[in-house]
Chain A
Amino acid sequence: MTTLAVSPITARKHRRLSDQGFITVMVAVVAVLLFLLASVLVPNFFQLQNMINLVTNNWAVISLGVGVTFLLVSGNFDLSVGGNVALAGVLSVWLAQSTGGANTLSTGLGFPLPLALAGAMAGALAIGALNAFFVVRLGVPSIIVTLGTMMVARGLAQVITHGSQRNTNLPDGFGTLGNLTLFGTVKLPVVLMGMLLLVAVFIERRMLIGRVTYWVGANPVAATLSGIDRGRHVTRLYLFSAAIAGMVGILLASEFKSGFSNRGMLMEFDALVIALLGGVAIAGGFGSVIGMFFGAIILAVVTSAATGLVLSPDWQFILKAVAVFLAITAQTWALARRNR
């Protein structure tokens, strides 16, 4: 028996890439290969500006994907983020619009801008709190809860905008945040997305709460019996995701100088799709923010290549569907083969 014991040092050397690392590398390789394939097929695709655009055009979905990824890893869905983007955006506009406009849609509450933005964040966080309350306290499955709050949030946005949009009577500085450019050409929302990704990767890889997320998702029963306060942790994650959605909503409203009740439509599904493309397990306990990022690149390459190939935009959903099926089947197959 004693001869079987391996000394710690040799064990360290033989450390293989974990399943997690393996999938992330695989997703990244697929993203690069797809990009090269598209470059061969589509004229003018292989350009630096195009590569940058793949990321910058998708800053909103990638940001939302961060919160959604953490929740998926913890074993929970968040389908409310798209509706929450609309709600926060509409709230920020409504609160900031000055009073006494020509009609209802141009009349707001006249809050000073910082207070209006704080109010919009509070609205977004309230949706997150509602998610947490139903999921944690009442034990309702998260897919049902967040499907409901998705409609609550968008419904409120529609009531506030009378199903249309508010874009008049706004204070001067309202459009600054969404249109500010840093370092020459990079827009502030893209910079914020980059910072969010760095923070998220640090939380996931280096912080205790990152590890707790994996424990909670990998085996909720064992996590509770190991003394983890699962409810508190999931509550935090829902608030985190709602805060990101609130930020995205405010930035989009600022960029377009309007609060539109249909903004962020289907973003919850895009955020879910890029997370799954990036190797996040729908059952929880497995996945990474970096994987989600490359999942977003895969989706962006597929959709923009389609446009470049002069496929009519009607084909976009079909192409997304094919990409999702292929990517997820390939991951399942690769993991099963590796662990055989």
Chain B
Amino acid sequence: MASSTQIPALEIDELTRDYPGVRAVDAVSFAIEPGTVHCLVGENGAGKSTLVKMITGALAPSAGSMRVNGKTHNPTNPQEARDNGIATLFQELHVVDELTVRENLTLGLEAKRFGFLIRSDLDDRVVKTLAAIEPSIDPAVRVSSLSVAQKQIVEIARAASSGASVIIMDEPTAALSEREVERLFEVIRRLKDNGVTVIYISHKLEEIFTLGDIVTVLRDGKHIATKPLVKVEGRPELIEMMIGRTVAHNYVPRPNPPGDVVLTARGLTNHLLKNVSFDIRKGEIVGFYGLVGAGKTEIARAIFAADSYDGEIIFKSQPVGHTPKDALAAGIALVPEERRTQGLFTAMSIRENIPVMNLPRMSKGGVFRADKEERAAHEFVSRLRIATDSIEKQTEKLSGGNQQKVVLAKCLFSQAELLLLDEPTRGVDVGAKTEIYDIIKSLADQDNTVAIFSSELEEVLGICDRIFLLYDGQLRAGIRNGDNVDTAQILDLVTGGSMQEDAA
């Protein structure tokens, strides 16, 4: 394969990026050989996106340097990165539906004379590039008539014909069917034959093994390994590199045994979920763990009746109704995934946010109980230790952790028996994280039931009694937490592997 005398397509040297309090990418160095498919893997938060943003000029590195084909690459914006031959295929497509394929390919590169468009050899060149990677697409048809996969290929052709030597693809198969994925892989192989280098990012490990030449593993912002995939001994080795041997594991089994089944879900199916069934018992903390797009949020929203679904959900031997209002009345509350857009009234104060999920308690003959509101605000500010100088503080101005506590306070005020927490500690500082975990544990100790939907393995292993593993809308397994949990096996399941040995 690549000889050592070749100049790397992209060389990364001691690249570092700091955020306040966090080093997202920590002195990462590796080289990418030209004409290869180079895969980038790591858990959520390993530093992949930050690294890609630095390569494409969207973020400036705190330290370190990069070289493209031997020349210094120090882009201050995405256009400079493109000029240096680095193209990115974004998950959301940047094609113009109303134009033809040919017009899309030359968009922004048109030859002009006196303000009028003229034909140029550019047209022929882009059409030839497209024909080379995907002959079945007619350059004369409108892009609106193409499938998502074909549009993606048009974008790839545009990148390739603009002279990109490196194309970065971030989860390109997320929206594709199995057949379309194969087509995309053929296109990528043809690109490679034409000397283009592809940086391929995916959570789906089979794709990495099918397509990749070389893999680079990142973990906690650090470079773990770069090696040819033929030398990787299957999924277990790759997973071990991704998560390491030591997953912080401080789960303490809770003393009180779980009670009766309180919630039963049977055959949940919608645009993403595929026949998901499970039970949750009273007083339990259950976790739903999976990677981005595995279906966690969809399950939470289905239980809360915020989205429609096929199948049934029974809570305390009654079907949950059809609206969040019904779910709340039945005793279910949701802390949504996006606290600022879905959970908080950011323009309003802490006091004004807290009572919203329990209106019956706030009204006496239609009159709003301002006295109760104020008491509740003081109670929750001290009970959840929300750091503020006043209950009148606008929630917009609180830190992420304190905003999350206000959302939690809203739900607790509703006196729900089942709390659904979607990514409860995302973007929350370490101190507040621990406090939120303590709140969750004390809730379960008081016989409430908590379901946590998280893409952080450490989080679910830290506090959940049982963990459901999700991959691609399917519930792959349910395991009991404890000392004998095999983290490698969990990672294997949530990345699409099949169970190799029986779960404990």
| Structural contact, A222 and B390, CB atoms closer than 8 A | no
Q: Is the interface of B mostly helix, strand, loop or mixed?
A: mixed
| Structural contact, B329 and A222, CB atoms closer than 8 A | no
Instruction: Tell me the smallest distance from the CB of B353 to a CB of chain A, in Å.
Output: 9
* Contact code string B355-395 (vs A, CB < 8 Å = 1, else 0): 01101001100111010000000100110010101111010
Residues of the B chain whose Cβ atoms lie less than 8 Å from the Cβ of A18: 349, 392
Is the CB of A214 closer than 8 A to any CB of chain B? yes
With CB as the reference atom, state the residue of chain A lying closest to B370: A206
Say yes or no: A228-B356 contact (C-beta < 8 A), given A6-B390, A207-B367, A222-B343: yes
Say yes or no: A15-B392 contact (C-beta < 8 A), given A208-B367, A225-B334, A229-B325: yes
Interface residues on B, range: 35 or more
Residues of the A chain whose Cβ atoms lie less than 8 Å from the Cβ of B352: 211, 214
Is the CB of B323 closer than 8 A to any CB of chain A? yes
Say yes or no: A11-B389 contact (C-beta < 8 A), given A208-B368, A285-B345: yes
A254–B363 CA distance with the chains assembled, in angstroms? 39
Instruction: Tell me the smallest distance from the CB of A230 to a CB of chain B, in Å.
Output: 10
Is the CB of B324 closer than 8 A to any CB of chain A? yes
Is the CB of A224 closer than 8 A to any CB of chain B? yes
Interface residues on A, range: 20 to 34
Q: Which of A221, A224, A226 has the most CB of B within 10 A?
A: A226
Instruction: Tell me the smallest distance from the CB of B152 to a CB of chain A, in Å.
Output: 30
Checking B336, B385, B394 against A225 with a beta-carbon cut-off of 8 angstroms, the contacting residue is B336
Checking A1, A8, A208, A214 against B348 with a beta-carbon cut-off of 8 angstroms, the contacting residue is A214
Chain B, 171-202, CB within 8 A of any chain A CB: none
A3–B344 CA distance with the chains assembled, in angstroms? 27
With CB as the reference atom, state the residue of chain B lying closest to A6: B389
Residues of the B chain whose Cβ atoms lie less than 8 Å from the Cβ of A15: 390, 392
| Structural contact, A229 and B392, CB atoms closer than 8 A | no
Is the CB of A94 closer than 8 A to any CB of chain B? no
Instruction: Tell me the smallest distance from the CB of B116 to a CB of chain A, in Å.
Output: 38
Is the CB of A196 closer than 8 A to any CB of chain B? no
Is the CB of B410 closer than 8 A to any CB of chain A? yes
| Structural contact, B344 and A208, CB atoms closer than 8 A | no
Say yes or no: A8-B345 contact (C-beta < 8 A), given A208-B363, A226-B356: no
Residues of the A chain whose Cβ atoms lie less than 8 Å from the Cβ of B391: 8, 11
A4–B381 CA distance with the chains assembled, in angstroms? 12
Instruction: Tell me the smallest distance from the CB of B87 to a CB of chain A, in Å.
Output: 35
| Structural contact, B363 and A228, CB atoms closer than 8 A | no
Q: Which of A4, A206, A211 has the most CB of B within 10 A?
A: A211
Is the CB of B341 closer than 8 A to any CB of chain A? yes
Instruction: Tell me the smallest distance from the CB of A335 to a CB of chain B, in Å.
Output: 11
| Structural contact, B344 and A219, CB atoms closer than 8 A | yes
With CB as the reference atom, state the residue of chain B lying closest to A17: B392
With CB as the reference atom, state the residue of chain A lying closest to B304: A225
A221–B344 CA distance with the chains assembled, in angstroms? 9
With CB as the reference atom, state the residue of chain B lying closest to A14: B390
| Structural contact, B392 and A226, CB atoms closer than 8 A | no
* Contact code string B387-405 (vs A, CB < 8 Å = 1, else 0): 1011110100000000000
Instruction: Tell me the smallest distance from the CB of A203 to a CB of chain B, in Å.
Output: 9
Is the CB of A188 closer than 8 A to any CB of chain B? no
Residues of the B chain whose Cβ atoms lie less than 8 Å from the Cβ of A224: 306, 324
A72–B345 CA distance with the chains assembled, in angstroms? 17
Say yes or no: A285-B368 contact (C-beta < 8 A), given A11-B390, A208-B359: no
List 18 A-B residue pairs with CB atoms under 8 Å apart, sorted by A's residue number: A1-B387, A4-B387, A6-B390, A11-B392, A15-B390, A15-B392, A206-B367, A207-B367, A208-B363, A208-B366, A208-B367, A218-B347, A219-B344, A226-B410, A227-B327, A227-B329, A227-B359, A286-B347
Beyond the given pairs A11-B390, A208-B363, A286-B347, 5 more chain A to chain B contacts, judged by CB atoms under 8 angstroms and listed by A's residue number, are A14-B390, A206-B368, A214-B345, A223-B345, A339-B394
